[in-house]
């Protein structure tokens, strides 16, 4: 293996598996492991070795000797270049298989954890046009295809789209995206056309210059539409563009903008300005309404999110005597959906804005048995807090990708809930955390939920039951 160098060709490698981040794993006849893009298990390919890393290689497919039966024709013209839907070339049933297997492998490999009951992965009924949020970037250095480069012609370099695979600095100009309702494509394309016609500068990622930076479109299941534009500096062109947007689309409910002069495009430390409509849109899920703002986190697949929340309820089996602690509560979605089934909901999140909206959503839904607190959970779980708000009999945790801090896990265990439902978007950190929980809790049930078709990402729902009544 060590004798193989870059630019060597390995013939008839079999693609045998899917790796992290959607890459495929191929094996040569002599046993070398090669990581590939745009390959599907079952393909037999000739590979050009690009580089070696940690005992394996990355490569580029030169030739298909045999194409896998798991292959399908991608519907998107940007597939293979855009960094979005990496699995569009694989049939959906195979996507589900590899997603589920990856979760189980991570649990066993990292934590030697095998839940008592493993339920089949919950598929998404919609595999296209399922996202309620899309973020696009403006760029004056559009990604050029190999054929464009070889032609030596001059091309317009303005782009409004998504990042090229593995590139922070190159944007693929998207004509049509199949992830969000088609009105999203119309809005994006008209904005780009208007900007070019009016010679508005697109962002330069190398110089951190340019007026047009980012576009975010949110569309709820109630057909509310929010458009947020991010600009690099103050300019009269901003209002010209925003007025064009307002006058062109009467079905847009909220138009917002941000002046962001930082090198990165994060808006969470920036002021969001309201140009038209309200500063929020409304989502309806599981019979309740929730306000969604520019900075609000909400599951990006509303239809599947509803199935996820019902699954949490099914696992938890709450009753009217339960005090439910909703940790990493965000805007209060899960806790409020379960509020009618329990005595009380206590929600905690470190993001103050999320807690403010959780309280607003409680009022919006006429709930009187919910209380929300902002702060670090390592500090909040005191005896005084438990005494004031009640000892939790059931707990829900829905942390970000990095999982739960060890001290927070210790605090959760100290509160001694009978049941814990852990919702996780990262099976690696989930496995790490379950190692600590399983000292006092049985890993009772696991079900993976496919929230993001054509990607390697999933959500996992795990039920933990207290081993000893202490």
**What distance in Å separates the CA atoms of residue 421 and residue 442, rounded to the nearest whole number?**
12
Percentages (nearest 5) of helix, strand, coil residues in the chain: 25, 30, 40
> Is residue 457 a contact partner of residue 311, using CB atoms and an 8 Å limit?
no
Distance of alpha carbon 438 from alpha carbon 113, whole angstroms: 9
Which parts of the chain register pLDDT below 70?
1-6, 54, 469-470
Q: Is 425 a catalytic residue?
A: yes
Q: CA Rg, the chain, in Å? A: 24
pLDDT score recorded for residue 5: 64
Q: In what order do the strands lie in the sheet with 273-277?
A: 171-173, 159-163, 133-139, 212-219, 225-231, 254-259, 273-277
pLDDT averaged over every residue in the chain: 93
- From residue 296, give the alpha-carbon distance in Å to each of 218, 323, 352, 357, 398: 11, 26, 11, 9, 15
What is residue 145's predicted lDDT score, i.e. its pLDDT? 75
Contact yes or no for 358/329 (Cβ under 8 A) = yes
Domains in the chain, please, with CATH?
Answer: 9-66 (2.40.50.140), 96-127+301-466 (3.40.50.150), 133-285 (2.40.50.1070)
Give tens-digit pLDDT for 146-200: 777 777 777 788 999 999 887 888 899 999 999 999 999 999 999 999 999 999 9
Q: Residue 433 has which token pair?
A: 């955390």
pTM > 0.85: yes or no: yes
**Catalytic option among 13, 76, 85, 425:** 425
Q: Return the pLDDT at 1.
A: 42
Model pLDDT, residue 4:
63
What whole-number distance in Å separates Cα of residue 380 and Cα of residue 411?
9
Beta bridge partners of 219: 225
How far is Cα 362 from Cα 355, in angstroms, rounded to an integer? 11
CB 223 within 8 A of CB 180: no
- Pick from 133, 353, 135: nearest CA to 265: 135
Reported as a single tens digit per residue, the pLDDT across 55-79 is 778 999 999 999 999 999 999 999 9
């Amino acid at each position: 293996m060590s004798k193989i160098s870059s630019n060597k060709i390995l013939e008839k490698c079999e693609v045998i598996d899917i790796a992290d981040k959607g890459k495929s794993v191929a094996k040569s006849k002599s046993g070398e492991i090669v990581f590939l893009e745009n390959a599907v298990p079952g393909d037999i390919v000739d590979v050009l070795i690009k580089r070696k890393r940690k005992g394996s290689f990355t490569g580029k497919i030169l030739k298909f000797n045999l194409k896998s039966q798991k292959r399908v024709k991608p519907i998107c013209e940007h597939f293979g270049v855009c960094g979005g839907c990496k699995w569009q070339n694989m049939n959906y049933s195979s996507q589900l298989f590899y997603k589920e297997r990856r979760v189980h492998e991570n649990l066993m490999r990292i934590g030697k954890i095998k839940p008592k009951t493993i339920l089949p992965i919950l598929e998404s009924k919609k595999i296209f046009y399922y996202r309620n949020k899309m973020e696009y970037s403006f760029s004056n250095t559009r990604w050029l295809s190999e054929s464009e480069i070889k032609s030596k012609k001059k091309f317009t370099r303005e782009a409004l789209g998504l990042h090229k695979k593995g590139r922070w600095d190159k944007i693929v100009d998207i004509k049509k995206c199949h992830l969000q309702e088609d009105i999203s494509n119309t809005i994006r394309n008209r904005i780009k056309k208007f900007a070019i016609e009016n010679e508005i500068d697109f962002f330069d990622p190398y110089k951190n210059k340019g007026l047009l930076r980012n576009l975010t479109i949110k569309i709820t299941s109630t057909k509310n539409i929010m458009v947020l534009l991010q600009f690099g500096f103050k300019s009269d062109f901003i209002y010209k563009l925003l007025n064009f947007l307002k006058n062109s689309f009467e079905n847009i409910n909220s138009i917002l903008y941000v002046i962001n002069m930082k090198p990165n495009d994060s808006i969470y430390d920036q002021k969001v300005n309201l140009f038209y409509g309200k500063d929020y849109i409304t989502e309806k899920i599981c019979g309740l309404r929730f306000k969604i703002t520019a900075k609000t986190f909400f599951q990006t697949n509303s239809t599947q999110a509803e199935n996820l929340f019902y699954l949490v309820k099914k696992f938890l089996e709450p009753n009217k005597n339960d005090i439910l602690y909703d940790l990493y509560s965000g805007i209060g979605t899960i806790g409020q959906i379960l509020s009618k089934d329990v005595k009380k909901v206590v929600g905690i999140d470190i993001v103050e804005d999320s807690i403010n909206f959780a309280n607003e959503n409680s009022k919006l839904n006429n709930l009187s048995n919910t209380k929300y607190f902002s702060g670090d959970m390592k500090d909040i779980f005191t005896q005084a807090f438990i005494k004031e708000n009640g000892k939790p009999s059931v707990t829900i945790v829905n942390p970000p990708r990095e999982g739960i801090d060890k001290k927070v896990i210790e605090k959760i265990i100290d509160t001694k809930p009978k049941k814990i439902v852990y919702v996780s978007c990262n099976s690696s950190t989930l496995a790490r955390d379950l190692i600590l929980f399983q000292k006092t809790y049985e890993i009772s049930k696991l079900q993976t939920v496919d929230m993001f078709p054509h990607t390697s990402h999933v959500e996992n729902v795990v039920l933990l039951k207290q081993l000893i009544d202490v």
